[in-house]
Amino acid sequence: MKAYAGKILHVDLTSGKSRVENLAEQTVKLYLGGMGLGINLLMDHSKPGRDAFDSENPLIYCTGPLSGTLGLAGNGYSVVSKSPVTGGVGEGQVQGFFGSELKRAGYDAVIIKGKAANLSYLWIDDDNIQICDAQHLKGSSVQNVEQKIRNELGDFYIQVSGIGLSGENLCRFATIISDKYHTISRAGLGAVMGSKNLKAIAVRGTQNVDVADLESFTEFVKNNYQRVKNLETGKYQFSSKSLLELNSLSVLANKNWSSTVFVGAEKFDADYCIGGRYVEKTVGCATCGMNCNRVVAANGVFTDVSLQFDFDCLLSLGFLCGVDCFDAVAKAASLIVTYGMDCISVGAAVAFAMDLYEHGLISLEQTGGVDLRFGNIDAMFDLINKIGKREGWLGNVLAEGVVQAAQTIGGEAVNYACHVKGLELPGYDLRVLKNVALWFSVTFSGDRYLRNKMKMGKFGDVGSSKIEAGVGCVVAHENFLCNVLDSLIVCKSFSGVYTWKDLVDYYLFATGIKFTEEELRQVGERVENLARLFNILEGKGTRVYDDLPYKIKNVHLQVGDQKMVVSDEELQVGLDDYYVACGWTADGIPTSARLKQVGLGALSYISEAAIAAVRAQGED
Amino acid sequence: MTERHQDRKIVVSDPERCSGCGLCEYVCSMVNEKTFNPHKSRIRVIRRGLVNMAVSCRKCKDPVCVASCPKNALSQEKHTGIICVDEHACTGCGWCIGACSFGALNLHPDKKIVYTCNSCDVFNGVPQCVQWCTENALQYITAENLAQKIRQKIVSQLLETREVAKTENCNK
């Protein structure tokens, strides 16, 4: 099994013991690695109904088959666990340098269970596993933790993946961060790590990573470097350059999904463009020629800001909160990263609170005397600090996520919470991107990282799209492709660069395992079904959970002379279509026949039980 | 061919261009070790975010690494300036590592002897790390040419400043 390390590391933080298990070739052929392997291991190692913060809920780190190789855009890792936000599968992939180091240490997966007595960090030095005290790191940002651990262990090439203060506080926006700014952002996995009293994982790996066919592999990668350097790179850059274009199409939501075109958008576009005065440099992840990480230094109003910046931060912290000052957005993002939180979710939560405040659902007293109007920069900073530290009534309430917060606040608050399966939406207006709305509603993890405009382009003309028959098939296909990319851990920025044929070749040259395009697509389908089954076991996987937030379904958005909304009927049409495309029942449960087809026949008892349960409910 | 120090080409990296991706490390291990392992690379990247740099052998005149070796295991090739390591003589004591001002020598994790940039054993060709670098941050260049390029760059910048000033005056 070339390119794989062939080993899974089990760590029990309660007892401090660890053991190594071999990774079966059969498992690899079914799930590739990364997210697919992670979800498979999660299924094997969890018990339905167990709380995400239960010490026995496994936190699973996985590397992909391409991690540790020269592979373009493949040097990532994946974290999978039960999400404390959605209650279903929580997953995230990130590139950078940590994944390749973990592979070189000799592991395809690390399964962490138990709870350390005190705050600790896990030190993986090839086959030497130690659990070290981390009480002196309490409250530190991941950026500082990385430096401190490197100093402590005396090696500056050690890679660290850890959590900030918000993770320790079990804030549901908490992320896992490596390489200072690379986040496993969604699904609150940082809080799962915090619940285990685990501050960080430090890793040093010195072993070789070999591929099956070095010559072909190298040739393949070399060709793709050229492709990326020529035509295809525009796709990722496109998203930032076309900010104004997207805004004029009303694709970008603003002020908590309440109005259409954002007036201050012009202020962003000029500044955000590469080479603008804010972007000091673009840097890259391991062996990647794309170099899309913009190192931003806000050199206007707010000083002392330096971070790597993403398009989605701008949408959530800028557009959603009604803030039209790039300095402020950069400063806010920098604060959020220091606490170790997710910019998208925090932005949505702040916008949610602002919306409630403007509609009189929370009072000045409840905000702690802060005038929480849309666009109030100081109020945004204040609230971010409160959420990060879990300070004050509002900070504590919001740190539980918008769904829980809406319940606590009560009244009509629930109508202002924009989320799918409990996970806050990124800043796209789904009323305009209707087919994307369907896509969001059916994902098993709340939402998928919708980074590429190119992806939206696939769903037809964004301005006039509507959900109609046939779109389910496209969404299903996209989901399967995403699953394959996340299992190979190929960066999504490259999803347009690689065709299915490329992915087949890439995998063949790296591992020596031959798939056909159809077989590879089926891996994606298998992962989709497996994740669905996990959610069903957790009671979150049926049709009623494939829903959209109130605002998207009921509040009309004025776009030109059209009033846009994704009506419930429209969504149901889309869901029917999607379920048919997946071979699921009308309740969104995979049928035994389909499960057998994708090689999950052994798990058909789950779907049978679920189908029976739904039927019994219907008879009542 | 007469030995001329100024003909020696070295791999230099432009810290402003270098994105710190470490591609050169992987390529180096691929070419020289037939595997992927940055810990076995002859060129090493230092990542500091805004400033990144890849460091490898500078092929010094009268190199201290050679002089420092107590076993006479190191020697410098006359024409190329490449530091050669006698694998049988080297004991891996690491004295040369400490002597080098650039951190360009490393101890091989498996063989336990030192190794450094061999320019992929090409004299006139271009080493693989330079060929692969996607940011054009690496150059295989003589010291004289490097100095020329830097001077050219500075003068170009001055010219640009002049042009900008001129346009601004016109606009007024």
* pLDDT (tens digit per residue) in B50-109: 788 999 999 998 999 999 999 999 999 888 889 999 999 999 999 999 999 999 999 998
Minimum Cα–Cα distance from A103: chain B residue? B37
The DSSP-derived string for A154-195 is: T-TT-EEEE--HHHHTT-TTB-EEETTTEEE-GGGHHHHHHH
Give me the phi and psi of A242, to 5 degrees please: -95, 20
State the smallest CA–CA distance between residue B27 and chain A in angstroms: 7
The span from the CA of B82 to the CA of B65, in Å, is 12
* Out of A210, A287, A295, closest to residue B23 by CB: A287
On whether ipTM exceeds 0.90, the answer is no
Backbone angles phi, psi at A78, to 5 degrees: -130, 140
A-chain residue closest to B19, CA distance? A283
Residue contact A70–B33, C-beta within 8 A: no
3-state secondary structure B38-85: HHHCCCEEEECCCCEEEECCCCCCCCHHHHHCCCCCEEECCCCCCEEE
What average pLDDT does the segment A315-324 reach?
89
CA distance A574 to A566: 11
Q: Give the pLDDT score at A306.
A: 65
pLDDT at A62: 95
Using an 8 Å CB-CB cutoff, list chain A residues near B37: 104, 206-209
Given a cut of 90, whether residue B162 has pLDDT beyond it is: no
Q: Biggest alpha carbon distance in chain A?
A: 67
- The radius of gyration of chain B from alpha carbons, rounded to an integer in Å, stands at 19
The minimal CB distance from A286 to the residues B21, B39, B50 is found for B21
Residues of B in Cβ contact (< 8 Å) with A206: 37, 39, 109
Which of A69, A229, A295 is nearest residue B36 as measured by Cβ atoms? A69
**Contacts (Cβ under 8 Å, ≥6 apart) of A94:** A76, A77, A78, A178, A182, A183, A184
A103 band by pLDDT with thresholds 50, 70 and 90: very high
Decide if A262 contacts A254 (C-beta within 8 A). Answer: yes
Q: Tell me what pLDDT residue A152 has.
A: 93
Closest listed residue to residue A54, CA positions, set A111, A112, A115, A11: A115
C-beta atoms of A209 and B34 within 8 A? no
Lowest mean pLDDT among A48-57, A492-501, B155-164: A492-501
Dihedral sign of CA atoms A354, A358, A364, A366 in order: negative
Average pLDDT of chain B? 89
Q: Which of A145-149, A361-365, B168-172 has the lowest mean pLDDT?
A: B168-172
Q: Which of A228, A281, A287 sits opposite B26 (nearest CB)?
A: A287
Helix (H, G, I), strand (E, B), or coil: what is residue A196?
A: coil
Number of CB pairs, chain A paired with chain B, less than 8 A apart? 72
Choosing among B13, B29, B37, which should be mutated to test the A contact, i.e. which has the most A CBs within 10 A? Answer: B37
Per-residue confidence band for A162, with pLDDT thresholds at 50, 70 and 90 = very high
Q: What is the pLDDT of residue A394?
A: 93
Confidence of residue A204 (pLDDT cuts 50, 70, 90): very high
User: In this structure, are residues A14 and A114 in contact, taking their beta carbons and an 8 Å threshold?
Assistant: yes
Structure tokens that stand for A553 in this block: 């379904």
**Shortest Cα–Cα distance, A349 to chain B (Å):** 30
* Residue A238 confidence class, pLDDT cut points 50, 70, 90: very low
**Token reading at B108:** 């091989």
Q: With cut-offs at 50, 70 and 90, classify the pLDDT of residue A191.
A: very high
| Sign of the four-CA dihedral A249, A252, A254, A259 | positive
- The tokens for A333 are 């993002």
The pLDDT assigned to A330 comes to 85
Distance CA B21, CA A566 (A): 43
- pLDDT of A463 reads 41
Report the pLDDT averaged over residues A179-203.
Answer: 92
A44 CB neighbour count, 10 Å cutoff? 10
**Encoding tokens for residue A50?**
């167990």
CB-nearest to A291 from B21, B22, B49 is: B21
Interface with A, mutate which of B19, B131, B132, B135 (most A CBs under 10 A):
B19
As a whole number of Å, the end-to-end CA separation of chain B is 60
CA distance B52 to chain A (A): 9
- Residue A556: how many CB atoms within 10 A of its CB? 11
Whether residue A450 contacts residue A426, with contact meaning beta carbons closer than 8 Å, is answered with yes
- Asked whether the predicted pLDDT for residue A264 surpasses 80, the reply is no
Write the DSSP assignment of A459-523 as a string of letters.
TS-TTT----TTHHHHHHHHHHHHHHHHHHT--GGGTTT--HHHHHHHHHHHH-----HHHHHHH
The pLDDT value recorded for residue A72 is 82
Q: Which of A138, A201, A192 is nearest to A164 (CA)?
A: A138
Answer whether residue A237 shows pLDDT above 60: no
Confidence of residue A199 (pLDDT cuts 50, 70, 90): very high
pLDDT for the residue numbered A453: 41
Helices first, then strands: H and E counts in chain B = 5, 8
Do the chains contact at B19 and A225, CB–CB below 8 Å? no
| Interchain contact, B30 vs A214, CB within 8 Å | yes
- Residue A270 pLDDT > 90, yes or no? no
pLDDT of residue A113 exceeding 50, the answer is: yes
B35:A97 CB<8 A? no
DSSP-H helix ranges across B105-142: 128-132
b/e map A365-375, b = 16+ CB within 10 Å: ebbeebebebe
* Nearest residue to A9 via CA among A112, A116, A123, A161: A112
Question: How distant is the Cα of A138 from the closest Cα of chain B, in angstroms?
Answer: 25
Q: Dump pLDDT digits (tens) for A561-582.
A: 778 888 888 899 889 999 999 9
**Across the interface, which of B27, B36, B49 has its CB nearest the CB of A209?**
B36
Q: Which residues of A touch B (CB under 8 A)?
A: 68-70, 97, 104, 180, 206-211, 214, 218, 222, 225, 228-229, 280-289, 291, 295, 306
Distance between CA A43 and CA A88 in Å, rounded?
A: 11
- Residue A563: phi and psi, rounded to 5, are -110, 115
Q: How many CB atoms are located within 10 Å of the residue B109 CB? A: 12
Instruction: Enter the tokens of residue A506.
Output: 């890439």
DSSP track, A318-348: IITTT---HHHHHHHHHHHHHHTB-HHHHHH
| pLDDT for A177 | 94
The predicted model gives A164-185 an average pLDDT of: 91
Q: What is the pLDDT of residue A41?
A: 96
Residues A432, B15: Cα–Cα separation, whole Å: 44
Which of A7, A31, A192 minimizes the C-alpha distance to A531? A31
Is residue A218 pLDDT above 70, yes or no?
yes
Which residue in this structure is represented by tokens 């490097």?
B146
Instruction: Say if the Cβ atoms of B36 and A280 lie within 8 Å.
Output: no
pLDDT score, position A124:
95
Element of type H or E holding A139: none
HSE at residue A574, side-chain half, CA atoms within 13 A, is 25
Alpha-carbon distance B62 to nearest alpha carbon in chain A (angstroms) = 30
The pLDDT-based confidence of A315 (bands split at 50, 70, 90) is: confident
Question: Which chain A residues are Cβ-neighbours of B36 within 8 angstroms?
Answer: 68-70, 208-211
Go through chain B and tell me how many residues it has.
172
- The whole-number pLDDT of residue A462 equals 42
d(Cα A432, Cα A421) in Å, to the nearest integer? 20
Q: Among A104, A180, A295, select the one facing B37 at the smallest CB separation.
A: A104
Cα–Cα dist A417/A425, whole Å: 9
Q: Do A70 and B39 touch (CB under 8 A)?
A: no
What pLDDT, on the 0 to 100 scale, is given for residue A523?
Answer: 95
Query: Min CA distance, A420 vs chain B (Å)?
Result: 35
Pairwise CA distance, residues A332 & A317, whole Å: 7
Tokens linked to A454: 């190119």
Residues in B touching A283 (Cβ below 8 Å): 19-21, 47, 49, 52
From the list A104, A209, A289, the residue facing B134 with the nearest CB is: A289
By Cβ distance, the residue of B21, B34, B135 closest to A285 is B21
What number is the average pLDDT over the span A279-297? 77
- Angle at which helix A377-389 crosses helix A343-358, to 10 degrees, equals 120
A70 CB neighbours in chain B (<8 A) are 23, 26-27, 30, 36
pLDDT given for residue A276 in this prediction: 60
Looking at residue A254, the DSSP 8-state letter turns out to be B
pLDDT tens-digit series, residues A69-87: 988 878 899 999 999 999 9
| Predicted pLDDT of residue A464 | 44
**Are B36 and A291 an interchain contact pair (Cβ–Cβ within 8 Å)?**
no
Q: How far apart are CA B56 and CA B87, in angstroms?
A: 20
- Confirm if A526 and A256 have CB atoms less than 8 A apart: no
Asked whether residue B172 carries a pLDDT value surpassing 90, the answer given is no
A222·B132 Cβ contact <8 A: yes
Please tell me the distance from the alpha carbon of residue A334 to that of residue A296, in angstroms, as a whole number. Answer: 10
Contact A284 B109 (CB under 8 A): no
> What residues of A are in contact with residue B22 (Cβ under 8 Å)?
97, 286-287
The answer on pLDDT for A248 being more than 80 is no
Contact B34, A69 (CB under 8 A): no
* Top-confidence residue, B49 or A77: A77
Backbone φ and ψ for A218, nearest 5 degrees, come out as -60, -45
Tokens of A2: 């070339």
Q: Which of A70, A218, A283 has the CB atom closest to B19's CB atom?
A: A283
Contact between A295 and B50 using a beta-carbon 8 Å cutoff: yes
Mean pLDDT of chain A: 87
Distance from CA of B143 to the nearest CA of A (A): 27
- Asked whether the beta carbons of residue A104 and residue B132 sit closer than 8 angstroms, the reply is no
Number of alpha carbons in the 13 Å side-chain half-sphere of residue A424? 37
Looking at residue A126, its pLDDT comes to 92
B35: β partners: none
Q: Give the 3-state DSSP-derived string for A210-231, with helices as H, strands as E and coil as C.
A: CCCCHHHHHHHHHHHHHHHHHH
Q: Choosing among A70, A182, A282, which should be mutated to test the B contact, i.e. which has the most B CBs within 10 A?
A: A70
